[in-house]
Amino acid sequence: MKKILLVLTAVSALFTACKIDEPDKDLQRTVFDQGNLKFISTSLNTKKETASALYGNQEALKSLTQESSIPEKGSVLKFVTWKYHENPQYTGGTITGELLSVETLQADQDGKISYQFKDQSETKNDPPDKESRIRYLMSYRPVSRP
């Protein structure tokens, strides 16, 4: 009788110890489709726990490479910001989570600059100052690859 009780206890302990915990099941990851735009640069804001990526077309890349303060005609830039979270699979790593905002900066063929801010977050923040955001986006420098 003692052996049967010992075996049942061991089997019960084994099944309760093998509970699969899914720490990231509440995290909602969003993938951004940049279309035909190319990756230009990235940034992290550790205080707000956000990660951002800047995408653009060839004209935008040329403007940023030349360190111009205004985009060239035909430029398209998209600045995408996500909330980041701890990566449950790698200690000390982070992954992007919910999409917070997408900022679009375009210069048409006449050189007219338009700026659009789409807030995707649940808190719905106020749109940033257009002129300061254009200056900020144009201050980015493309990532150089060896």
Least Cα distance to 80 among 61, 57, 49, 54 occurs for: 54
Q: Is the pLDDT of residue 120 over 90?
A: no
Q: How distant is the alpha carbon of residue 31 from its chain centre? A: 8
Would the pLDDT of 21 be above 70?
A: no
**Once rounded to an integer, what is the mean pLDDT over residues 71-98?**
85
The span from the CA of 105 to the CA of 144, in Å, is: 22
List the single range of 2-11, 82-91, 132-141 with lowest mean pLDDT.
2-11
Q: Is residue 20 scored above 80 in pLDDT?
A: no
For residue 84 the two structure tokens come to: 């980041």
Q: Is 44 helix (H, G, I), strand (E, B) or coil?
A: strand
Asked whether residue 13 carries a pLDDT value surpassing 90, the answer given is no
pLDDT number for residue 75:
93
Mean pLDDT, all residues of the chain: 81
- Residue 129 has a pLDDT of 86
Among left, alpha and beta (phi > 0; psi -120 to 50; other), residue 103 is beta
pTM above 0.95, yes or no: no
Q: Average pLDDT, stretch 13-27?
A: 56
